[in-house]
A and B are shown apart, each in its own frame.
Chain A
C-alpha cells in the first residue's frame, strides 16, 4: 500500500470557507513539489471544482460514476497541472502534480447517490486506489459540513483531519463534537484552523483560547477578509495574492501537513 496521506478538511457548519481553504491548501502543497489529489466528497453541494476552473462541460467522469461502478478512479482524476485553465492564480499550477476528483453537479446524479448511500468500503477503496494509481503524497478530501454519514466516512479514513472553524460560540460547540468523534475514530493527526477572525481580536489570543479548549493545535488564524470575499470563487486567492495577510496565514498551515506522521 502506498504511504500517501489522506487529509480531510471539515467544518461543523457551512460558510466557514472550507472549499476555498481546501483548494488553496492543496495548491500550496502541490507547489512544494508534492503529488496531490483533491476529492470532493461534498456530494450534496459540490463546489471545489469551480476554484480549479472546471465547469460542467470540462468535467468528465465524476466520483459519482466511480461510486456507481461506472468508471474507474483513474478515469475520474482530472490533471490540473495539464489543464490549469484561465486565471492568473491557477496558471501557476501548470506542470504541478495536482489532480482533482470532482463530484457530479447534475441534480439527478446527486439525488441518486444520496438515495443509495455510500458504501464505506467502496469509497475507501477509491481513495486508496487514487493514492496508489496517481502515486499521491497527499489526498485532500473536501467534505460536506456537519456530521452526516459520508462525512463520518471521510473522517474515519483520515490520516490528518483539519477542522475549520470561525471564532464564535456555535462553531466551537460543533467543533467540540467533531473533535470527540475524531478521537473516537483514532484519527492520528487532529488539526484546527480558524478562519474569518475579526481584526478586533488578537490572533494569538484566539489560538491560545481554542487550543486550551480542545487540546489540539491551531495551525493558523486566518483573518476575515473583504478582498477574499470579493475574489473568492473566481480563482485561487493565495496564488493570485501571495502577499495578502490571508494568504500568508494560510501558508502557515502547509508545514503542519508536511510534518504529519
Chain B
C-alpha cells in the first residue's frame, strides 16, 4: 500500500499509537473501499463484521427517532474510524453511516482484525492505547452536552431548533452517553418553555378581522335555498322542543 495511505492511517486517533511496522501490518490486512454520495456504509442493527478508517470525504452517523425520522448524531471525516467498538463488544451496529460525498475508506474485517491482534502483540497494544485515548478524551455526546450547557447558561436556545428532537425509550440499552444527551435535550426544552411562561411577555395579539370578507362569506352561505330551508326547519324544531 502506498505511503500516503500509511500516513493517513498513522494520523487516525485509533492507530496513532502504532509503530510504522505495525501500521504496515494493518494496511496489509485492509481493503480500500470507495463510496459515492448517499451510499449506505452501515445500517443500524446489522451485525458488526468490519470497521472503517475514513481516508477521504465525510459521512453522517444516523439513527432514527420513535417516529422513524432520521436523526443525524454526528458527522465523521478523514482520520476517524467508524464501527470499531461494535467489533470488539460483538454488539450489532448502534447507528447507521451514510456517505455525504465521495468517501474513500479502509475496511478491515473482523476476522482480519482479530488475526492481526492474535499475531502482533504490538498492534494489539497500540490499539488498546487508541481505545483508552478515546475513552479519556472526547466522546461526541459529552462534547455536545458541554456545548449545549454553555449555550443554555447564556440563554441561547438556538440549538433546540437546529437539532431534531432526540428520543430514547427508557429500558433500552442505548448508549448511556446518548441517553444523557437526550435527557439534556428534553430538559432544556422544558426549561425554555417554563422560562417563556414565566416571562409572560404579553406580546400584543394583533388580530384583525376582515369585516368585508366576513360579511361576504356569511352572505354566500346564508343566501342559498338550502340555508333558508335549514333555518326554517331549525326554528320549527326549537319551538317544538321549547314547547315540550
Interface residues of A, Cβ cutoff 8 Å to B: 1, 120-121, 124, 147, 149, 152-153, 156-157, 167, 169, 172-173, 176-177, 180-181, 184-186, 199-202, 205-206, 209-210, 213, 226
Which among A1, A180, A186 is the interface contact of B234 at CB below 8 angstroms?
A186
Contact B205 A205 (CB under 8 A): yes
A147-B221, A169-B208, A200-B199 known; 6 other A-B pairs, CB under 8 Å? A152-B227, A167-B205, A180-B214, A180-B218, A200-B201, A210-B207
Knowing A1-B244, A156-B233 are in contact, say whether A172-B207 is a contact too (CB < 8 A): yes
Cα A226 to Cα B193 in complex, Å, equals 11
Cα A104 to Cα B189 in complex, Å, equals 40
Q: Which residue of A lies closest to B243 (CB)?
A: A1
When distances are taken between beta carbons in the complex, the residues of chain B under 8 Å from A172 are 207, 209
> Which residues B166-219 have CB closer than 8 A to chain A?
189, 193, 196-197, 199-203, 205, 207-210, 213-214, 217-218
Contact A176 B209 (CB under 8 A): yes
Within 8 Å of chain A (Cβ to Cβ): is B226? Answer: yes
Cα A206 to Cα B237 in complex, Å, equals 36
Which among A156, A167, A177 is the interface contact of B230 at CB below 8 angstroms?
A156
Contact A199 B230 (CB under 8 A): no
Main secondary structure of the interface of A (DSSP, over half): helix
Residue among B213, B217, B235 facing the most chain A CB atoms (10 A cut-off): B217
When distances are taken between beta carbons in the complex, the residues of chain A under 8 Å from B213 are 173
B144 to chain A: closest CB distance in Å? Answer: 21
Contact B196 A177 (CB under 8 A): no
A161 to chain B: closest CB distance in Å? Answer: 12
Cα A200 to Cα B200 in complex, Å, equals 6
A-B contacts, 5 of them at CB < 8 A, read A157-B234, A176-B209, A200-B203, A202-B202, A226-B189
A119 to chain B: closest CB distance in Å? Answer: 10
Residue among A121, A149, A210 facing the most chain B CB atoms (10 A cut-off): A149
When distances are taken between beta carbons in the complex, the residues of chain B under 8 Å from A153 are 230
Cα A167 to Cα B205 in complex, Å, equals 9
Contact B218 A177 (CB under 8 A): yes
Cα A185 to Cα B193 in complex, Å, equals 41
